[in-house]
Structure formats: C-alpha cells, structure tokens
C-alpha cells in the first residue's frame, strides 16, 4: 500500500500567482510545488509522506529558496517551517476563516522584501577597547596574566562578567546606530536576538524595493566607517520572515 501523503505548506500568496515549473520543494526526491487557491489567496504546497522526517538542512534550504524566490516577484506570507496538512480540503479549512486578514497582510507586503543586517565585533579590537576604557577590567586582566586558571578563578569570572556587560552595551549602541542610519530607507524593523557572544548587531529590515539600492549604499558606507571594529554582512532580498509572526499558521 502506498504511503499516506499530506501537503507541506510553504507560504501564502495572491491568488493569481503561479508556481514555476522548476520550483522544487522539500523531501527526497524534492516534491513538485503547486498552488491551492481560495478566493484571493493561494497556498504554495508540495506533496510529502505524512511520516516523513523533514528537518534536513536540504529541506530548510529548499523552503527558504522557494520563499525568497517568490518574494522577488510577488508578496508572500511565509508559513512556519514544517507545517503539513492532510490535503487540499485541509488547506482551504485553514485559509477560509482568515481569508481577509491574510489578503490584507499580502497587500501590505506588495513591493516589499526583507533584508537582515548582521554584524560581529572583532574580538581583539573589542577587548582592547574594554581594557583601555575600564580600569577595573584592566586590573583584573593584569591579575590573571601568566597565572594558571585554577589559581585565578575569581578574577577570571569577574573579568568575564565585565566583558560581557561591555559587549552588551556596545551591541545596544550598534543596533541604535544602524536603526538611525537606515531609518529613512525602511518601512519597519525588527531587532533579532544575538546568535553569538560577539554579535554587534542583528536587525531585520522591511524595505520597499525601490529603496533597496539606497539602503545597500548606506550600509556599505557604514561598514567602511566601522571597519576594523566589526564585520558587517547584509543578507537579502529575503521573504519577510520576521514581519509575519502574527499571521503565521501554527506548525
């Protein structure tokens, strides 16, 4: 007997959007992506076995590539990764009660994409700055220099705490600077949690597509200005993952 299958939902789009013939979904082999329509909405879906373990890096990559590619040509509401329903009727059951809200959200996202600005401090430069500015930290660093860890445990712990506090303050300041320099080019922003102890900034920006070039220019200038202290990366254009939490379907 054939395996029972369901539908993996990637995202919601306007009802006139078509899946491209080469669109590949999750799974092995990759599922064919189609659109299930209801009123003014469409859901990007592909068939998957109901007992499939969908968590490979290739699956997440396929999910993101499909949504990011869609966002380049049409508004899309990403649905939480791993959302699988039993069939087309189940998709309609999900879309129907929230049709107007989803349609309004898609209208707001028309002509907009997400970028992520991620910065990471140069650790040596940052630590040197902390020790130069904080006599207590400098004194603790001198106490532990050349001493074994077991014999200098307390000053090491205290120094670690001071450095952590300093990094947090600098991170807050860096995020504020980035919010200030990008304010006139973005529609909305979301502060993301740090992904590393040396993270300098982690911001999601919702941008009108006619402002993309200007945003990139100002961030390149900012990166040059901060060169040596931190390394800045700009990811995008992406689907608006950070701006649809209130509209996402449960996984």
Q: What confidence tens digit (pLDDT) does each residue in 15-68 have?
A: 999 988 888 899 888 889 999 999 999 999 999 988 878 888 999 999 999 999
Please state, in angstroms and as integers, the Cα–Cα distance from residue 3 to each residue in 138, 167, 233, following that order: 65, 52, 43
Give the pLDDT confidence score for residue 104 in this predicted structure. Answer: 93
Spell out, as residue ranges, where the chain has pLDDT lower than 70: 1-3, 246-251
Give the pLDDT confidence score for residue 247 in this predicted structure. Answer: 53
Domain extents in the chain: 5-110, 113-243
Report the 10 Å Cβ neighbour count for 31: 21
pLDDT tens for 169-185 read 999 999 999 999 999 99
Give the pLDDT confidence score for residue 248 in this predicted structure. Answer: 57
Let me know the angle formed at the C-alpha of 215 by 231 and 110, rounded to the nearest 5 degrees.
Answer: 125
How far, in Å, CA of 234 to CA of 216, rounded? 8
Is the Cβ–Cβ distance between 168 and 202 less than 8 Å?
Answer: no
Please state, in angstroms and as integers, the Cα–Cα distance from residue 229 to each residue in 76, 161, 171, 199, 216, following that order: 36, 21, 12, 12, 20
Q: What is the pTM of this model?
A: 0.86
Give the pLDDT confidence score for residue 3 in this predicted structure. Answer: 63
Please name the helix (run of DSSP H) or strand (run of DSSP E) that holds residue 44, with its range, or none.
strand 41-49
Q: Which of 9, 19, 1, 76 is nearest to 47 (CA)?
A: 9
Buried b (16+ CB within 10 A) or exposed e, 92-115: bebbeeeeeebbebbebbeebbbb
Is the Cβ–Cβ distance between 64 and 72 less than 8 Å?
Answer: no
Q: Where do we find the tokens 């130069």?
A: 132
């Amino acid at each position: 007997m054939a395996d029972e299958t369901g539908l993996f939902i990637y995202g919601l789009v306007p009802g006139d959007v078509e899946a491209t013939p080469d669109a590949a979904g999750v799974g092995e082999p990759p599922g064919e992506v189609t659109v299930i329509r209801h009123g003014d909405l469409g859901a990007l879906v592909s068939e998957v076995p109901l007992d499939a373990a969908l968590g490979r890096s290739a699956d997440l990559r396929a999910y993101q590539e499909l949504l990011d590619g869609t966002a380049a040509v049409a508004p899309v509401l990403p649905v939480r990764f791993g959302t699988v329903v039993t069939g087309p009727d189940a998709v309609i059951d999900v879309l129907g009660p929230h049709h107007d809200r989803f349609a309004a959200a898609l209208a707001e996202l028309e002509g907009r994409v997400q970028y992520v600005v991620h910065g990471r401090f140069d650790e040596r430069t940052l630590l040197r700055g902390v020790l130069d500015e904080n006599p207590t930290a400098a004194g603790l660093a001198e106490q532990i220099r050349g001493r074994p860890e077991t014999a200098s445990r307390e000053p090491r712990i205290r120094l670690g705490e001071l450095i952590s506090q300093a990094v947090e303050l600098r991170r807050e300041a860096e995020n504020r600077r980035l919010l200030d320099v990008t304010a006139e080019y973005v529609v909305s922003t979301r502060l993301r949690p740090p992904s590393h102890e040396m993270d300098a900034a982690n911001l999601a920006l919702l941008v009108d597509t006619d402002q993309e070039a200007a945003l990139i220019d100002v961030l390149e200038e900012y990166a040059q200005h901060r060169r040596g202290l931190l390394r800045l990366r700009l990811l995008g254009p992406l689907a608006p993952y950070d701006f649809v939490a209130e509209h996402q379907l449960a996984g």
